[in-house]
């Protein structure tokens, strides 16, 4: 016999994800919005100093145990389980018509760093990893932009899955940097700042009530003179 609770859980897993509302954005205006660092601790909230002078969120990391070619750490995370940004980025990006994901990023490491993003389901698999090929210089805010397109060369892997499977149910966002020769094994903590995360698209919104009335009038048969 299947218990009601088990049936509800099965339905929840099988049910398609609702589309997100575009544009979706996080500016950390009042707090860190439940975003986490590599150790699942809340990000540090800073009230001013972002690319536009506003608030931002920050993480720190020490690369003493990292090696070149190893698994690059996800330094900043937005997890569905933590209700990051109130779930604003969670759901079906394809149905929403999302085509662009961007954020501002800053670090104080001693060398330019390539930034990556990982987009994954609420269960953290499957995921898609995208890489910004142009390294971000130290100590300046850099806007990172990823095209949400299955043909984008920025996507390095879909982890054995495919574009549609990943982006039809996004729940976790992860950001990090590629560990290079300068960082690997360096026993020093560096800061990684993030702000103005934005998901946008070109989907045409459904017509409002007034527009529907106009369309109905145009479609109605004209009366004879």
- Is pLDDT above 60 for 4? no
The model's pTM: 0.85
pLDDT, tens only, 147-202? 999 999 999 999 999 999 999 999 999 999 999 999 999 999 999 999 999 999 98
Domains of the chain: 17-218 (2.60.120.260)
DSSP letter string, 192-219: EEEEEEEEEE-PPPPP-HHHHHHHHHHH
Mapping DSSP to helix (H, G, I), strand (E, B) and coil, where does residue 121 land?
A: coil
- Is pLDDT above 50 for 37? yes
Residue 16: the pLDDT is 82
User: How far apart (Å, rounded) are the C-alpha atoms in residues 126 and 121?
Assistant: 6
From the list 89, 80, 93, the residue with the least C-alpha distance to 149 is: 93
User: How far apart (Å, rounded) are the C-alpha atoms in residues 116 and 101?
Assistant: 12
pLDDT, mean of residues 211-220: 41
pLDDT, tens only, 51-76? 999 999 999 999 999 999 999 999 99
8 Å CB contact between 141 and 105: yes
Task: Give percent of the chain with pLDDT exceeding 90.
Answer: 82
| CA distances for 169 relative to 72, 117, 133, 199, angstroms | 24, 16, 26, 14
């Amino acid at each position: 016999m299947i218990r009601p609770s088990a049936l509800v859980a099965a339905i929840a897993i099988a049910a398609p994800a609702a589309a997100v509302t575009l544009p979706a954005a996080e500016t950390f205006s009042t707090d860190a919005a439940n975003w986490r660092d590599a150790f699942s601790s809340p990000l540090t909230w800073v009230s001013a100093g972002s690319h536009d002078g506003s608030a931002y969120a920050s993480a720190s990391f020490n690369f003493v145990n990292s090696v070149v070619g190893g698994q690059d750490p996800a330094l900043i995370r937005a997890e569905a389980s933590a209700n990051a940004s109130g779930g604003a980025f969670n759901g079906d990006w394809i149905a929403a018509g999302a085509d662009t994901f961007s954020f501002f990023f800053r670090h104080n490491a001693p060398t330019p760093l390539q930034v990556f993003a990982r987009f994954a389901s609420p269960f953290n698999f499957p995921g898609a990893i995208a890489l910004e090929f142009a390294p971000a210089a130290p100590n300046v805010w850099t806007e990172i932009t990823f095209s949400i397109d299955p043909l984008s060369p920025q996507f390095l892997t879909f982890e054995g899955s495919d574009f549609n499977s990943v982006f039809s149910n996004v729940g976790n966002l992860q950001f990090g940097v590629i560990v290079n020769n300068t960082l690997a094994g360096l026993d020093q903590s560096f800061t990684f700042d993030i702000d103005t995360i934005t998901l946008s698209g070109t989907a045409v919104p459904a017509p409002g009530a007034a527009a529907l009335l106009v369309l109905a009038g145009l479609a109605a048969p004209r009366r004879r003179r």
